[in-house]
Amino acid sequence: MDFRSFLRRTATLSCAAVLIACWPAVEAAPKQVRLVVPFPPSGNLDTITRQVAEGLQQTFGVVIVENRPGANGNIGADNVYKSPPDGSTLMFAPYGPIAVNQHLYPKLSYDPAQWVPVAMLATVPNVLAIHPSLPVHDLAGFIAYLRANPGKVAFASQGAGSSSHLAAELFMQLTGTSMLHIPYKGTGPALVDLLGGQVTVFFDTLSSSGKYQKNGRLRILAVADDKRSPLLPDVPTFAEAGPPSMKNMMANAWYAVVAPPGTPREVAAKYERAINDVLAAPATRQKFAEMGIDPVIATSAEAGRFMHDEAEKWGSVIRASKITLD
């Protein structure tokens, strides 16, 4: 489910969420704020974090972006989890260490249920991108081709358990098809091999694959969102282009902010307001739009409910697919 759909399905904000605006501001901000990104310094997340960090400096002074990659986000998550709950450290992350890794790994050094939700950041729709050598031109044709060639089509992912991998697993579950999974170490190498034809399918993010649709090097068949993208207005959503089961093919990459367990509500609320101010700024919205990224302004309560629902959704997909990581 994307965040817009989530909000439409959520009842009027609870009293607790409304009261966030009434909590007193923290008297003294930390002297230095660390924004930990549990992945390498590249890609959408790093761009988003650094844009927000620049805006937060006006309120919090020295704001440092610190990349702590490794173990599908678990190394950076462990560092934040064990940091003092005083507002000096926040984690800017995709859904892995927030809502998914607990379903992939038999044991973690942190408990994702204890994160203190702070804010949402953005969503980026996943798209079904194929190499032009694949003899299909629309989603219906692609599904028919997979059914005629079970297990013979190879799809790339950013790595086992990544958003692209789980999007493909959800697609196969909804369509009753099967493909061969080829995991890569990140979007870059996966996209290189897709462009080269070594693999022919990739459930990539719009922000990285969209430009190759325009120059004809890739063919994008559908967008895993509840609306078409302004960057590719001629490409339908899965719900528009596919059978009835495709209405559930919602697989956006999303990014959010959490704080260590025990962080006071008033501290989270102050960051929530500051982050939302940055996301609402025209300069931020323009930069994100150019990349195909949708900023998401939400309360910490809304963010928390969305994270919980995403954990439930992808946990079901992971269990059905029997995916495990060491």
* Domain architecture of the chain: domains with CATH: 3-11+30-123+252-321 (3.40.190.150), 126-248 (3.40.190.10)
pLDDT at 3: 63
- Give me the residue label for tokens 């007193």: 24
Helix H or strand E encompassing 195:
helix 187-196
pLDDT at 291: 85
Q: Which residues of the chain have pLDDT under 70?
A: 1-30
What is the rounded distance in angstroms from the CA atom of residue 224 to the CA atom of residue 167?
9
pLDDT at 37: 96
Strands 294-295 and 219-223: unpaired
Distances (CA, A) of 172 to 74, 125, 126, 151, 312: 27, 18, 15, 11, 18
- Give me the residue label for tokens 């817009």: 4
Q: Which two tokens stand for residue 7?
A: 């909000």
pTM to 2 decimal places: 0.85
Task: State the virtual CA torsion across 213, 215, 217, 223 in degrees, nearest 10.
Answer: 0
223 sits in the region (left: phi over 0; alpha: psi -120 to 50; else beta) called: beta
Strands 32-37 and 89-94: parallel
38 neighbors 69 (Cβ within 8 angstroms): yes
What is the rounded distance in angstroms from the CA atom of residue 72 to the CA atom of residue 38?
8
Please count the residues of the chain: 326
What is the rounded distance in angstroms from the CA atom of residue 20 to the CA atom of residue 32?
24
pLDDT at 9: 53
